[in-house]
Structure 1
Amino acid sequence: MKKSLCLLLIPAFFILCLSSCGNESNECAYQPDISDIKINIEIERLEDDLLSVESKTELREFLKDNPVVTEIFLKRNQYPDDSIMMEALFKRFKNPHIDTLKSEIDRVFGDLSALKADITTAFTNLKYYYPDFETPKIQTVATGLDHDLFVSDSLIIIGLDYYLGDSAKYRPLGLYSYMLERYRPQYITPSIMLLYGISPMFNKTDVSDKTILADMIGYGKSFYFAKHMMPCTPDSVLIWYSNEEIEGARENQDIIWAHFLENQLLYETNHMVKKKYIDERPKTFEIGEKAPGRIATWLGWQIVRQYMEENEDITLQGLMQEPNARKIFDDSAYRPERR
């Protein structure tokens, strides 16, 4: 299993303190007692080696030793052959501006202690719910803004240069401003947990069900999963909404739901229709100018929450193993009240 955040678009999520509650209502999920669970997280830093290569021989050895970085982060398949790739990459990493990028990473992330603490807490919670879970190898890298995040069951690679935040001298290219919002340090660990939550390793789904409801519930389960791995992380951070957007969605939940019912969207299978409500967009204009994008995934999260409130005997693991989206919806008795 491997996932790429920018391709997955959950639906393609650190300046905020992830260990304390924010100002959103209903902020914290259940916090289990994890005091007896000990895990050891080590982060291998590859960026120093890559950004300071002195010869093509050094670069070639690095690429050979780190095939995922080569294939995913440095996009090997975009080059006609390896010799052309070597020329292009060596020129890139000998560019004098690389020193600026390295200093930016050091300024924002320092010794990675904050990131390490966040990941440790999330994985400790994960170990509580899934005792057989084995922590993956974790690496960081910087490739000149080529890729953000790679997550598999055995390996996580974080492109630190993607997550330098608003004050960075260099930001990822080709992304709209609303998409750049999530590329800040505080979004790294939530994004990892969301990718775990959407993966078949934890989230069982019925792949034959092509309805928008199935997608909504699948993503809703992933948000619910991630929230329990990071119980007091604001909902807005998990779903990449602003505080204004998350509050607006909550206050207008009945209007959003009415739109889905009136337009008979729940069992829609048309790909182009589904994209309007699930894929990356600044707004869901079909509902209104202030309705945030990916609104169907947020709505799916609320249905899953209601399902768990209505069925207290079902565990997190039980939820994640339930592939029947229609059953989850029916048993949720989800009916938001008009305000």
Structure 2
Amino acid sequence: MKLVFVSSIVTLLLMTMACSSGSKAPDVSHVDVDFELIPFYEDLFAIHPDSFAGEAEALKAKYGQYLEAYSLGVIAAGSTEDEDFVENMQFFLSYEPNQEVLDTCRLVFGDTAPLEEELESAFKYYRYYFPEAEVPDVYLHISGFNQSVVVDSSWISVSVEKYLGRGCLFYEWLSIPVYLRRRMSPEKVVPDVMMALAMTEFAYNDSVDDLLNQMIYEGQLRYFVKQLIPDIPDTTLLDFSTEQMSWVENNEERMWSTIVENKHLFSNDRMTLQRFVGKSPFTYYFGEESPGGTGIYLGYQIVKAYMERHPETPLASLMQMNDGHAFFRSARYQP
């Protein structure tokens, strides 16, 4: 079983002008999706630690390979067949901080109806653009603040304690930087699920791993999410505050000129790449007033420029374009 951890089906698509960034979102009311939203963490933590030995087999029977993947890959409790599996799970369930986290997760995600509705809407768009695609079930788990999203062939699992709201006291206790907490709000769950889907189905081509390729790939991912969640604000899509969004919009031409003049565009220096597309409080080359991830913003603008010039391009075709240099030439991006 192959898992993809994401800090995560190329098929024929209906030709549509709706791919263009300025187009009205297509009508997906007729699209059927079949998936389950499964609050696994509720079933798991409903078991008293002292009773886990007697409940383990029933849990295995109900959750099968998902439980195996969760135990092995998410919380490192070992295989469900290991002799110390029960003891490890008893420790995890009885660990006092996990109980405190559970209470907060129930406050934020206890009513799953709104989340299920948001997921259904996004999956409808997914099936509209990719009619043959399988829609995965979505599990909710508690990981001990490990991976935010875990992807397998038939399911995606979300670590709910990573989305409790940027003001959550746990994040302060864990010394998580403020700029990262912006990504840790409930409204990011569905975008992150769709992002994980995109990263799994359309892997990055690192044969030419330079800044331009990374920028465009990150831009393609955001464009994909935007098509599946048409109403998502750019601030949420790009993890910017309102002020940061204004800054990048007002400084787009200056940012681009700086990148070109300093010959960063075709750089494969790891530090340079990190400074433009990595998670950071600001972009090193643009000063502390700038947000981090400005390279992602510019990549998104390049993708939008391409789609404005080639609006007939199906989303599936767009996501398969993995030559950033050729893509850039066709986009003719000019800030």
TM-score, normalization by structure 1: 0.84
1:231 aligns with 2:238: no
Distance 1:68 1:96, change over 3 A: same
* Identical residues among aligned pairs (%): 24
1:44 aligns with 2:38: yes
1:170 aligns with 2:166: no
Provide Cα deviations, 1:58-103, integer angstroms capped at 9, x if missing partner: 57544784012112220347x9x96667545423412455544333
Distance 1:85 1:291, change over 3 A: farther
User: What are structure 1's unaligned runs of at least 5 residues?
Assistant: 9-26
Cα offset, 1:289, TM superposition? 1.4
2:53 partner SS:
helix
User: What are structure 2's unaligned runs of at least 5 residues?
Assistant: 9-20
Length, aligned pairs only: 314
1:157 partner SS:
strand
8 Å Cα contact 1:308-1:314 kept in structure 2: yes
Aligned counterpart, 1:194 = 195
Give runs of aligned pairs for residues 1-339 of structure 1, distance below 5 A: 2-6=3-7, 30-54=24-48, 55-58=51-54, 60-61=56-57, 62=59, 65=64, 66-76=67-77, 86-95=86-95, 98-166=98-166, 168-171=168-171, 173=174, 175-199=176-200, 201=201, 203=202, 206-336=205-335
Distance 1:146 1:335, change over 3 A: closer
Distance 1:174 1:147, change over 3 A: farther
Amino acid of the structure 1 residue aligned with 2:178? S
Distance 1:91 1:31, change over 3 A: same
Distance 1:85 1:255, change over 3 A: farther
Question: Quick one: distance in 1 between partners of 2:228 and 2:318?
Answer: 15
8 Å Cα contact 2:77-2:89 kept in structure 1: no
Cα offset, 1:260, TM superposition? 0.5
1:158 partner SS:
strand
8 Å Cα contact 1:60-1:86 kept in structure 2: yes
Higher mean alpha-carbon deviation, 160-169 vs 265-274, is at: 160-169
Cα offset, 1:30, TM superposition? 3.5
Amino acid of the structure 2 residue aligned with 1:120? E
TM-score, normalization by structure 2: 0.85
Higher mean alpha-carbon deviation, 217-226 vs 282-291, is at: 282-291
Question: Quick one: distance in 1 between partners of 2:225 and 2:177?
Answer: 25
Amino acid of the structure 2 residue aligned with 1:312? P
8 Å Cα contact 1:187-1:237 kept in structure 2: yes
Distance 1:294 1:96, change over 3 A: closer
Provide Cα deviations, 1:268-311, integer angstroms capped at 9, x if missing partner: 11222212112111100211211211211111110010011012
Cα offset, 1:146, TM superposition? 3.5
8 Å Cα contact 2:6-2:147 kept in structure 1: no
Distance 1:98 1:334, change over 3 A: closer
Q: Which structure has the highest helix share of the two?
A: 2
8 Å Cα contact 1:205-1:324 kept in structure 2: no
1:291 partner SS:
coil
Provide Cα deviations, 1:18-60, integer angstroms capped at 9, x if missing partner: xxxxxxxxx9763111111121332122112222332341575
